[in-house]
A and B are shown apart, each in its own frame.
Chain A
């Protein structure tokens, strides 16, 4: 039981984006995908979601290829939350979340009880249940992002792949979204989240995968992945570390100036 990427290589427009990446996502875990801009995080996430076919390597979903599963079965198994918070048309919140039930539709079948239950649960989880009849255009950016997250949860897929769900959120909602993703994982789903905030990544993720220049350079517990050497070599930052309430935290503190030994 896992989404497994084996030896993934992706080239877009003649430029190598990913090279020889192996990564597995298991049910029940929250996996953080981190790395500097342009490291290939989104591309890896899209490959794992079956949205692009890698030039080399393969992605298996519980041992099966996307082709063997078929589009609709894959859509029921893997939910994908894209970057950005816009919808093309100002749909009602309820209608947006209902789109998450499309993979479950039957030919000529109407909405089922399971659909209503899933939609109500997703709305409640994301704290947007009161918005049902409002249209997307009347919501703030943060509210829209939470509605789109509810849409992704409404699929009730065993795997959720979220691309920068924290972008544009205030600190309260960043924390709430991370808690929500962790709860989703605790309920049994495998969750991958692409994020830039190393503090939240360290605090919430069970495991981190660090990408740099299209290669997976480290994978493991947050403490093991984000050691001082990697923070310097991959992110070019020096971090502050500490403990609070028995939990370790990490705070990127200053840019590393080249050629100088760091002093922390």
Chain B
């Protein structure tokens, strides 16, 4: 058996490289912050159980932030690749089915109602509730055996509704400061998150990742069209359910803990697709790691940048992502 020559790295090598890079930027993100931190001493104190200031900075600030960055990035990259595979469209992204906007609205509602003032986890819990409600609504709208066009249309409707509801909350905000806080939250950030956020999101995300990764063979088959995929033994209705459910769990909880972080789910699968021979199934895991790398890098860069107040993570990813889209438009125009 000869190894395929045109796919530069083989899949295990590529995944190992991406996982190694994720670990590296994770450590980088932990090491870099607003105050200098002796990582060695902090780790030593932490492991020894000494509640010194460096140990507290490490465990209460740096680690939760880096962990959330990796988790959120992985969720966005993975579900972006899955959604592009399902819709067979390189412009699809996790937000296309409306779950992200619904999660954002859920958090905004928690904010608006004042719940977040009395309960520290009210924002992420509200976000998760929004995502669950949206998913349920989506499944009802789709019913059994609805096609891809119906899914996109339902997503557009859900996006529009959640967007309008968020705008309404802003409109009715009791004072300008509340409105400003909502707007800032919507921009997406990993600042000032605690280990509680990690523990809340992690189980949901793991479940979502499992569902999404299980769709790999079906997404490969879908490259040949829906009829052929079905003739290869795949239940497309069940595929859509798993994919939407997985996206809802992964991205819904990501939005709930970090706000809306755009473009990661769109850009990362694009960049990595050539490295996996354009195979949608192989792209899943690779995009997960790619997303984690991108979010961790962006979150590290914004802390290094001499700009105060701190740039919002969603702003940075959009600033990176939008020029990328311009480039894509340019390339498509030349190919057309």
Contacts and interface: CB of A to CB of B under 8 A. Distances in A.
A and B: bona fide binding partners: yes
A11 interface: no
Interface stretch (B126-134, B152-160, B221-229): B221-229
A99 B224 CA distance: 9
B227 A99 contact: no
B270 to A, nearest CB: 12
A116 B278 CA distance: 21
B221 A102 contact: yes
A91 interface: yes
Interface of A: 46, 49-51, 71-72, 74-76, 78-82, 84, 86-92, 94-96, 99-100, 102-103, 105, 116, 132-133, 135, 148, 151, 155
Interface of B: 1, 4-7, 88, 217, 220-225, 227-228, 230-235, 273, 277-280
Interface pairs A-B: 10 shortest CB-CB: A75-B233, A80-B231, A88-B88, A72-B233, A89-B278, A133-B6, A71-B233, A102-B232, A82-B227, A103-B233
Given A71-B234, A91-B279, A103-B233, A80 B228 contact: yes
A94 B4 CA distance: 9
Contact of B224 (A72, A87, A94, A103): A87
A82 B224 contact: yes
A175 B300 CA distance: 62
A54 B183 CA distance: 53
Contacts of A96: 223-224
A161 to B, nearest CB: 8
Contacts of A87: 223-224
Given A71-B235, A103-B232, A133-B4, 18 more contacts: A49-B227, A51-B230, A71-B233, A80-B227, A82-B225, A84-B225, A88-B223, A88-B224, A89-B278, A89-B280, A91-B223, A91-B277, A92-B277, A94-B4, A102-B221, A132-B4, A133-B5, A151-B224
Contacts of A49: 227, 231
A148 B230 CA distance: 15
9 contacts: A46-B227, A51-B231, A79-B231, A82-B231, A84-B225, A91-B223, A99-B221, A102-B233, A103-B232
A100 B232 CA distance: 7
A53 to B, nearest CB: 10
Contacts of B7: 92
A55 to B, nearest CB: 15
Contacts of A103: 232-233
Instruction: With a 10 A CB-CB cut-off, give which of B232, B235, B279, B280 has the most chain A CB atoms.
Output: B232
Nearest to B231: A80
Contacts of B235: 71
A51 B237 CA distance: 13
Contact of B6 (A82, A92, A102): A92
Contacts of A92: 4, 6-7, 277
Nearest to A103: B233
Nearest to B218: A102
Contacts of A116: 1
B88 A75 contact: no
